[in-house]
Amino acid sequence: MASRGADQPLRIGVLASGAGTNLQALLESVHGNEALVVAVAADKPTAGALARARDAGVETAVFPIGDYPDRAARDAAIAAWLIGHDVELVVLAGYMALLTSPFLSRFPDAVVNIHPSLLPAFPGVRAIEQAIDYGVKVFGVTVHFVLDDGGIDTGPVIAQRAVEIANATDPDAVHEALRPLEHALLPEAVRLIARGAVSRDPDNPRRIRVAGAGDDTPG
Ligand code: GAR
């Protein structure tokens, strides 16, 4: 991650595909404080996140896959656009396309994703449906780093939060129950990163250490 002065807000670029409620949570919390959302990009022009960004005075861009020969070329264009905005941290807030190496290699240890399951359970698409079909009683959300490791939702976990739902059958109802968790957890994780409180455990780089959080005690 690029170095910056301690009192400089962390410059964030957000990628989104959907309604953008997680972007909104960032705009209403860390934006203008520890961090600045300076650029929001979507893979389709219909993403509600774009209007939310424009309403907040944040620059937007759309990168439809049809405009590029392949995903790698599209991802290189997104990366160049974000770098042009001096983005230091990329937040995937409901971004439903997989990112390729040309993107991830430009932002080492500087891409985070929010996923609606307790990883490593239920990675990939339709996470909530997967969890319901499995019959779990505890649902949850994960914020994790995205690495150029060839996996899907496999990067080191930064933060997780859970909720018990005993007899879940309706994905929309579970999603509604998870939304408040997401809208709290993503800004919390971004705030910790902006404060420099997040690092890799040298003994096991899969483990993320959060300064100030208790060690080996229930959180
Ligand atoms: C969120 O629930 C997020 O966890 C999920 O998309 C939704 C976006 O909502 N992301 C994934 O499923 C990524 N695999 P939003 O557009 O309202 O922020």
Specify the CATH number for the domain of residue 125: 3.40.50.170
Task: Write out the residue range of the structural domain in which residue 143 sits.
Answer: 10-210
- Assess whether pLDDT exceeds 50 at residue 1: no
User: Residue 1 domain-assigned?
Assistant: no
User: Residue 150 domain-assigned?
Assistant: yes
Mean pLDDT value across residues 162-175: 98
Mean pLDDT value across residues 160-177: 98
Q: 13 to each of 53, 81, 108, 118, 213, how far by Cα in Å? A: 11, 10, 14, 25, 26
Task: Answer whether 182 contacts ligand 1 (Cβ < 6 A).
Answer: yes
In contact, 139 and 166? CB cutoff 8 Å: no
Per-residue pLDDT at 113: 98
Task: Answer whether 140 contacts ligand 1 (Cβ < 6 A).
Answer: no
User: Residue 4 domain-assigned?
Assistant: no
Taking the centre of ligand 1 as the mean of its atom positions, its distance from the CA of residue 216, in whole angstroms, is 30
User: Residue 217 domain-assigned?
Assistant: no
Distance CA 63, CA 45 (A): 8
In contact, 65 and 74? CB cutoff 8 Å: yes
Per-residue pLDDT at 4: 63
- Assess whether pLDDT exceeds 80 at residue 219: no
Q: What are the tens digits of pLDDT across the range 114-150? A: 999 999 999 999 999 999 999 999 999 999 999 999 9
Number of domains in the chain: 1
Task: Answer whether 13 contacts ligand 1 (Cβ < 6 A).
Answer: no
Q: What are the tens digits of pLDDT across the range 29-83? A: 999 999 999 999 999 999 999 999 999 999 999 999 999 999 999 999 999 999 9
What single-letter DSSP state applies at residue 133? H
Mean pLDDT value across residues 109-117: 98
Mean pLDDT value across residues 150-165: 97
**Partner residues linked to 139 by β-bridges:** 163
**pTM, 2 dp:** 0.96
- Assess whether pLDDT exceeds 50 at residue 2: no
Q: Could you tell me which residue, 175 or 1, shows the higher pLDDT?
A: 175
Angle at 174 between CA 37 and CA 52, to 5 degrees: 25
Task: Answer whether 94 contacts ligand 1 (Cβ < 6 A).
Answer: yes
- What confidence tier does 6 reach under pLDDT thresholds 50, 70, 90? low
C-alpha 108: how far from its chain's center?
A: 14
C-alpha 111: how far from its chain's center?
A: 7
User: Residue 2 domain-assigned?
Assistant: no
User: Residue 104 domain-assigned?
Assistant: yes
Set 115, 144, 175, 183: catalytic member: 115
User: Residue 75 domain-assigned?
Assistant: yes
Per-residue pLDDT at 213: 82
User: Residue 91 domain-assigned?
Assistant: yes
